[in-house]
Structure 1
Amino acid sequence: MARFSPFQDTLWFATAPAAPQAETLQGEIRADVCVVGAGYAGLTTALELAQTGVSVAVLEREEIGFGGSGRNAGHCTPTFTHYSLPDLRRVLGAPWAERLIRRQTRANDTVGGLIARYGIDCEWEQNGYVQGALFPSHMKTLEKRAEEYNAVGAKTRLLDRDEVEKITGSARFYGGWYHAEAGGLNPLAYARGLGRAVMAEGGRIFTGAEVTGCTPAAGKWRVKTAQGAVLADKVIYTTGAYTVSGWPRLEETFRIMRVFVAATQPLSEDSRAAILPARTTLHDGRGDILVYKFSAQNRLVASMFPMGRRGRDAAHTVRVLNERLKWLHPGLREEPRWEYFWFGEVDMQRLTIPRLYQLATGVVAMTGLSGRGVPTASMLGAVLADWARGTALADLDLRLEPLSFQPRYMSFAPQLALRGYRLRDDLRALTQGAQLPPHF
């Protein structure tokens, strides 16, 4: 498999409004700040800076939204994937945990605010998120989660079995956790809209501009491409999982994990009524997760982690998706017809939270979003802009830390973890009298 899957395979590439007209870099230009990478993090950073009169140039190797920002499943859930809030506080300590929690739990206000302010046409729907409980014991975990998030101002609640069925159309769950502020969008349309906003505020975006090096130049930094360079006071790398060049060993600060996404043809009214009647996003509650939602065209968009033939063999993948959906929604009268299949890459690292690295004086990189890209990268633009404007390091909402590298075994850890989650779920089902769909 190629390092990155074809960008043109995605539903979003087929349905997003056209990309704004970026520039081609020829010769050397001057900017206060050079941002490398035109995904959510880079674009929101550039937007924050341009709004306050800072001259900013964005360099993008491919096109706006080419990386994870244009390939993800379009979920926008302002939570943490791998940590409870108490665990996050233990890992990060004060004041960093509280600052990150505040930013993350309010991130959808940032996303929705940007969409409204700049009139971004991206199919934004804020219809909530449900994580189902497939085991009785899972309800206790979700009850704690609701208490934790509500204590910091989030709008969540615990659902009983009947409420979950009413919202999701599935009677398979003992209950669930509902996050009212979660939403979904066309992620590439959102990225392209952010690009337009940057340009409208006076920022410059250059595509087809792969960074080949970054060197000191009389108290500034010269960020070089094949055709030109940007001479800047400060440089911010935001290339994430799609880092291929530009700074030595930056790609070793994370390990790539793949996620596959699939989208159906528009569903019939009968099928549409059987699945997600409230148009929420649904997490099916398993360790080996299935997450799905509807697009604006009533296409079902589902994402899972590849395992064995799943995600690589199209016929097998269709069988997996349809069997899982039929088990969750027995009232589904027809098999969905899957039209689009693609992969996205995630920049995983040990802590599974964003990391802000000091590469040199005046140069930083942000990596490690670990699968929460839409809300997290959108809110981090303000943090990176604060650094560029000279905010004291002690007052930043992310700790600035020395460059650190992720061990090679992390490349295999996700697949091992998935198998462990399957075993754990099987044991829970056996001991708690719960039912699970068959494994594939």
Structure 2
Amino acid sequence: MKTHFIAIGGSAMHNLAIALKDKGYQVTGSDDAIFEPSKSRLENKGILPQEMGWFPEKITADIDAVILGMHARQDNPELARAKELGLKIYSYPEFLYEQSKNKTRVVIAGSHGKTTITSMILHVLNFHQKDVDFMVGAQLEGFDCMVKLTQDNDFMVLEGDEYLSSPIDLRSKFLLYQPNIALMSGIAWDHINVFKTFDDYIDQFRKFVASITAGGVLVYNEEDPEVVKVVEAAENYFRKIPYKTPEYEIINGKVHLKTEMGDVPLSVFGAHNLLNMEGARHICRQLGIMDEDFYEAIMSFKGASKRLEKVEREDKGILYKDFAHAPSKVKATVKAFQEQFKKEKKYGFLELHTYSSLNPVFLEQYDHAMDGLDEAIVFYSEDALKIKRMEPISPEFIKEKFRNDALRVFTNAEDLHSYWETLDKTDAVFLMMSSGNFGGLDLTK
């Protein structure tokens, strides 16, 4: 099968391209910019475009599938040529469904926790050498490529994202998967640039539940009131399995899960991670993994990339980075950090980086998000606001919305870096929350 990727360099797209190459497909692609690690990984597989840009002449009538990434624009010249030739154009999730429509599809959805839960499930399955197809949005220890597609596997585990499918398909990605088994971890308004109201956002999850195949299974977080409302209002037939935070204890800085089989020591911490773990356990049950086997495997789970991930520093400083940027994720991560490090001085850094997090209306959601830290720092770039064509935001406005007068607010990367240099990294613990990089801050030094 001959496939062509428009915007092959994306974190998800390049993984799919590699998976198809490994499956024996003929793969080509284009992009106007490709960064690491995508660049090296594509190059190693021999499918890195020779030059950057869009080349309509690459689009030929013998291509079986054109896969369109979100990074491409609606007026992309390669897309226009594909339409002109009448080629089959797929969004990323649409193509994944085509690859898995004869398998049992397991879809993990939710505003927060879906990457971690999917990673936990894959870790357990990998530990017990149970082979499945999969797609997950973060790098996981022990896995080379985060997309796997085969002819023979019975199951496919998919991280289900509520964001748009492609520039020409404005449906939420997870609405294309039609899960046989699903999980919903939580609902908290996100992607405000696309979903203008909270109800519009919730409606995506209503549609997701409605897309579960007849007689399927939904594992859901019964501690989230919005999730419960969606599940209770569903009219289609499926089996409902609720889960909640399990009992646990912190002993000498290590979390121990309380189970019927005794205490299970874990390598991760935070109540939200243990809640995620319960959801993963119930999904693994559906895949034939018994609880005893689940606990045996999960003890060695160290977390998904950038999810409370410990950074190895040149000194002996304790620093964790986390992808948290949406309000609900920030609050859960800060709470976990406080619980884990009760005696140490705690610094928390948050970068407001996304369209939503810089929206004055959405900023209301961050009220008290950084409370309980000894030092709380928020950074956003005034230049980023200009690039996004957004109105200026004052540090005073940020403090007001966070309901935290003690908040330190930086709007210039150089000032933030100068402050960072003044801190003794071995005298405290540090939590760095961002989907960016704090203006190029090196967290290892």
| TM-score, normalised via structure 1 length | 0.27
| TM-score, normalised via structure 2 length | 0.27
